[in-house]
């Protein structure tokens, strides 16, 4: 299941740099994860300083 980035995102870009499949990009006010590209590895969640990326319910 893909990860999603919550509104807690501060736009630092740490998650984008960490994603091994380049599924994360800058969105409108926060970063977004392409669910079709995400491989559910959790690398983004491990690097985010505000715990914005989380598994999608």
**pLDDT tens string 17-48:** 999 999 999 999 999 999 999 999 999 999 99
**Would the CA dihedral through 37, 43, 47, 49 be positive or negative?**
positive
- Greatest alpha-carbon pair distance for the chain in Å reads 25
Q: Is pLDDT above 80 for 57?
A: no
Instruction: Answer yes or no: are the C-beta atoms of 13 and 31 closer than 8 Å.
Output: yes
Place of tokens 């505000």: 50
pLDDT of 22 reads 98
pLDDT tens digits for range 1-12: 899 999 999 999
Burial, 3: exposed, middle or buried (Cβ in 10 Å; 0-12, 13-18, 19+)? buried
Say if pTM beats, i.e. exceeds, 0.85: yes
CATH tag for 3-55 (out of 3.20.20.140, 3.90.550.10, 3.30.70.20, 3.40.640.10): 3.30.70.20
Query: What pLDDT is stored for residue 7 in this prediction?
Result: 97
Residue 32 per-residue DSSP state: E
């Amino acid at each position: 299941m893909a990860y999603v980035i919550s509104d807690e995102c501060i736009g630092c870009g740490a998650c984008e740099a960490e994603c091994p499949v380049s599924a994360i990009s800058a969105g409108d006010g926060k970063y977004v994860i392409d669910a079709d590209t995400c491989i559910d590895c959790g690398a983004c969640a491990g690097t985010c300083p505000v715990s914005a990326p989380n598994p999608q319910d």
